[in-house]
Chains A and B, each alone.
Chain A
Amino acid sequence: MATLFTLNLVTPRAIASLPDSTKGSPIRVPYLNQPWKRILSPLESRRMQVRAAPDRLSEKVEQSIKEAQEACSDDPASGECVAAWDEVEELSAAASHARDRLKDNDPLENYCQDNPETDECKTYDN
């Protein structure tokens, strides 16, 4: 059921039209029988994706540092060593950008930028 987690807009109709359910058979709604297989709401799944990016990058940074240290233990002046440390630098920069972006991410602000006319986002200036 990996596809469920990548689906952002889950409506009951969409669940019913999953490939497993054939016409005439009872509509199987997974989370009723198996409550641990919760379908993530759009906000939650987005939050999880946002949280995942810096974590993934942090792991990549750690891994790349280990690789660079290995590559340089053989020959510090070689192209491999230099390229490995360059990769560390690139990943560290990307990780720090991701951390900065996470800091500025206010869900209400993001929503209101795209939908300024909704009730939550209307501003009354006079």
Chain B
Amino acid sequence: MAVCPVYTTQSLNSTCSISTPSKTHFSSHHNHLVFYRTSKRTSKRGGSSSCVITCSAGDSQTVVIGLAADSGCGKSTFMRRLTSVFGGAAEPPKGGNPDSNTLISDMTTVICLDDYHSLDRTGRKEKGVTALDPRANDFDLMYEQVKALKSGIAVDKPIYNHVTGLLDPPELIKPPKILVIEGLHPMFDERVRDLLDFSIYLDISNEVKFAWKIQRDMAERGHSLESIKASIEARKPDFDAFIDPQKQYADAVIEVLPTQLIPDDNEGKVLRVRLIMKEGVEHFSPVYLFDEGSTISWIPCGRKLTCSYPGIKFSYGPDTYFGHEVSVLEMDGQFDRLDELIYVESHLSNLSTKFYGEVTQQMLKHADFPGSNNGTGLFQTIVGLKIRDLYEQITAIKTAAPLQATKA
């Protein structure tokens, strides 16, 4: 084997390991010639531009997460919690299209899959197709671009303008450390599914969805209870046919149901949230309560902790979900005080926190976000920490591999 000199330049906090893997995009000869593509990129906000050598090696360092749910890119609460776990606020790209759906922070880039609509609003109206229908989406382009970003190549991604309903000129997306694709169909196409390192499905039950949509839309002129109901009913067939089946492929499902603590509650204020975690997923160890693999039912309110009505109820246990082994952690009720949250956190295990109280701290940081007092906020925060853990495990493996290759 010929000796290949590997030159690394350290530039401004960017870790760039130049390795010679078997397939390199830019090597013309197979005898270890790696071409560097230098690109001017601002690595830190604050205007200092540095020359960063982007090595688009075969094995990339971009971790791809998929998030599926209804209603376009309205999972912004989840996104904000996720990006805040990594630090920094995610914002739309500066100086670009103001109606862009993309969010960029230091470590993460969030892409809205609505940008891959092949038909714009008028096109869909003409064909009589909803946005949920796969005929309205370009899965080939989605696969190509996600693959490119995962391999460290920047792409020109189209923009779907939600205000005008048209497809705007593309924007440049540079490969980030963590790429999150959120939308209606992240797990629909099998090729895209294989690119995902972790996938999440947000499953809102019909009653809760109805209650939330009422809260959202009643302030809007023109909307009435009937129109909201008609809108949900009309979309249901397409939703059940195309979106719902994706939950069997998800590594984690957050299921939101009406509470069982208050009989006949239809306000949807108190929620029962279940975190369904698939067993056997690489780099992902499910959260558990007290004893892994056993079935537990736990009401923390009692002598040590006083809660107000309706209280909090937890349960944990193994189960099967669409033929897979899963662990389910369930929370019913809501948090009223800080010490309830800390008490609960101290009894959960395998949270992937870096210090005691990190979950509580993250929840308090965003106390104004919806769901901060119930299981939705809690489980979204926990999933965020799990994704951080997964990212660190994957990057640890990737940086260890080239060292071994050069030793050989």
- Interface of A with B (CB < 8 Å)? 53, 56-58, 61-63, 65-66, 68-69, 72, 78-90, 92-99
Contact = CB atoms under 8 A, between A and B. Distances in A.
A57 B131 CA distance: 19
A83 B125 contact: yes
Given A72-B230, A79-B127, A86 B221 contact: no
Nearest to A89: B231
- Chain A binding site: helix, strand, loop or mixed by DSSP? helix
B234 interface: yes
Nearest to B92: A101
B124 A83 contact: yes
Interface in B189-232: 213, 216-217, 219-223, 227, 230-231
A48 B162 CA distance: 20
A83 B129 contact: yes
A17 B227 CA distance: 53
A72 to B, nearest CB: 7
9 contacts: A57-B163, A79-B129, A83-B127, A86-B130, A90-B72, A90-B162, A93-B72, A93-B74, A93-B216
A93 B216 CA distance: 8
A86 B124 contact: yes
Contacts of B76: 97
B237 interface: yes
A96 B217 contact: yes
A93 B325 CA distance: 35
B355 to A, nearest CB: 24
Interface string B223-248: 10001001100110110000000000
- Most A Cβ at <10 Å: residue of B72, B213, B230: B230
B280 to A, nearest CB: 36
A112 B222 CA distance: 38
B132 interface: yes
A7 B53 CA distance: 39
Contacts of A79: 127-129
B278 interface: no
B125 to A, nearest CB: 5
B157 interface: no
A23 B142 CA distance: 55
Contacts of A98: 163
Contact of B163 (A53, A63, A89): A53
Nearest to B161: A94
B121 interface: yes
A68 B230 contact: yes
Nearest to A56: B163
Nearest to B74: A93
Interface of B: 71-72, 74, 76, 121, 124-125, 127-132, 162-163, 165, 213, 216-217, 219-223, 227, 230-231, 234-235, 237-238
Of residues A69, A72, A88, which shows the largest number of chain B Cβ atoms within 10 Å of its Cβ? A88
A89 B220 contact: no
B222 A65 contact: yes
A87 B230 CA distance: 12
A86 B132 contact: yes
Contact of B121 (A81, A90, A99): A90
Nearest to A63: B222
Given A85-B230, A89-B231, A94 B129 contact: no
A65 B227 CA distance: 7
A88 B231 contact: yes
A85 B231 contact: yes
Nearest to B237: A82
A68 B229 CA distance: 13
Given A68-B227, A92-B220, 11 more contacts: A58-B221, A61-B220, A61-B222, A86-B238, A88-B227, A89-B71, A93-B74, A95-B220, A96-B216, A97-B76, A98-B163
Contact of A86 (B162, B213, B219, B235): B235
B216 A92 contact: yes
B234 A85 contact: yes
A87 B125 contact: yes
B165 to A, nearest CB: 8
Nearest to A78: B128
A62 B128 contact: no
A65 B226 CA distance: 11
Interface centre among B213, B227, B237 (most CB of A within 10 A): B227
B94 to A, nearest CB: 8
Nearest to B122: A87
A85 B213 CA distance: 14
B217 to A, nearest CB: 5
A57 B238 CA distance: 25
A97 B74 contact: yes
Given A69-B227, A83-B129, A89-B71, A94 B235 contact: no
Nearest to B71: A93
Contacts of A90: 72, 121, 131, 162, 165
A80 B125 contact: yes
